[in-house]
Amino acid sequence: MSSLEPAPRQPGRLLRALVRALTVWGLAGWLLSAVALGTAVLALWWSGEGRLLWELFSDRERIQQTVQGAGLLAPAVYVLLLVVQAIVAPLPAPAVAVAGGYCFGVFEGFVLTWLGALLGGAGSFALSRRFGRRFVAGSDRARRLDRYAEEHGALMIFVLRLIPLISFDAISYAAGLSAIPFKKFLLATALGMAPGTFVFVYLGGASPGPGIYVALGGLAIFATVAYACLRRYLRNRNR
């Protein structure tokens, strides 16, 4: 045997037992996480807290009353609501952004909404990376997906952020499970969510008129073109 060839691995019983234990623990971790999440959701729902949260984040007028009732702390309360909405994934987002336009006007509302959503997205990413990444990393399929995410992930996140119909929270949590660097995720999120954020805030802060329909139409066209360009780019790279 050449000295340059690696020696064959012969793991002992202790190492094999450790591998089996880690495999079982990974499966157990997934089950425990699913049970814990389901229990928390059911507890919130049965206690009425879950319904209250959903009703609050679905009702623009209630959000507006909550924010305006905070007085000088209104901007901080509004940003906090956006962070909570982003981390608690099922809660809807559009009503919060529209309320920001009502409460602060188009410009200030856009800045606060953009900041709050960015912080919330970063929080979701951090939670997913910290507690979920270890359960999906390591397999051959995960490594292939990681390479794909490192190469195309930032562009995909940017385009997906342009499409309001795709869950903001789901993208953040999914990105945290991948190997995409946090800085790339944050930059793609900051740029990609800007048009949609502006449009929803504009709906609340602008006077009724044709400008609202122009903004909605412009966002739809922009998102459609960006998605088509992404598909073309990925198709050409895969050839």
For the chain, 239 residues long, give each residue's pLDDT as a single digit of tens: 444 444 444 444 444 443 444 344 344 444 444 444 444 444 444 444 445 555 555 667 888 888 888 889 999 999 998 998 888 766 767 788 888 988 999 999 999 999 999 999 999 999 888 888 777 766 677 777 777 777 778 888 898 888 877 788 888 988 888 888 999 999 999 999 999 899 889 988 877 777 777 877 888 887 888 878 777 776 776 65
Range of the domain at 108: 50-238
Alpha-carbon distances of 149 from 82, 152, 154, 156, 176, rounded to whole Å: 27, 5, 8, 9, 11
- Residue 12 has which token pair? 């002992």
Report the alpha-carbon distance of residue 226 to residue 161 in Å, rounded.
Answer: 10
- Based on the fold, state whether residues 146 and 30 are members of the same structural domain: no
Number of H helices and E strands in the chain, helices first, is: 11, 0
- Based on the fold, state whether residues 15 and 100 are members of the same structural domain: no
Report if residue 6 sits inside a domain.
Answer: no
- Based on the fold, state whether residues 29 and 91 are members of the same structural domain: no
- Based on the fold, state whether residues 96 and 22 are members of the same structural domain: no
- Residue 137 has which token pair? 């990393």
- Based on the fold, state whether residues 30 and 78 are members of the same structural domain: no
Report if residue 5 sits inside a domain.
Answer: no
pLDDT in tens, 161-181: 888 777 888 889 888 888 889
Report if residue 210 sits inside a domain.
Answer: yes
- Based on the fold, state whether residues 100 and 216 are members of the same structural domain: yes
- Based on the fold, state whether residues 109 and 174 are members of the same structural domain: yes
- Based on the fold, state whether residues 37 and 82 are members of the same structural domain: no
- Based on the fold, state whether residues 134 and 230 are members of the same structural domain: yes
pLDDT in tens, 14-61: 444 434 443 443 444 444 444 444 444 444 444 444 455 555 556 678
Domain count for the chain, please give it.
Answer: 2
3-class secondary structure, 82? helix
Report if residue 2 sits inside a domain.
Answer: no
pTM: 0.70
- Element holding 106 (H helix, E strand): helix 94-131
- Based on the fold, state whether residues 195 and 144 are members of the same structural domain: yes
CB-CB contact of 68 with 103 (8 Å): yes
* Phi, psi angles (nearest 5°) of residue 3: -70, -15
CB-CB contact of 127 with 232 (8 Å): no
Report if residue 179 sits inside a domain.
Answer: yes
Report if residue 3 sits inside a domain.
Answer: no
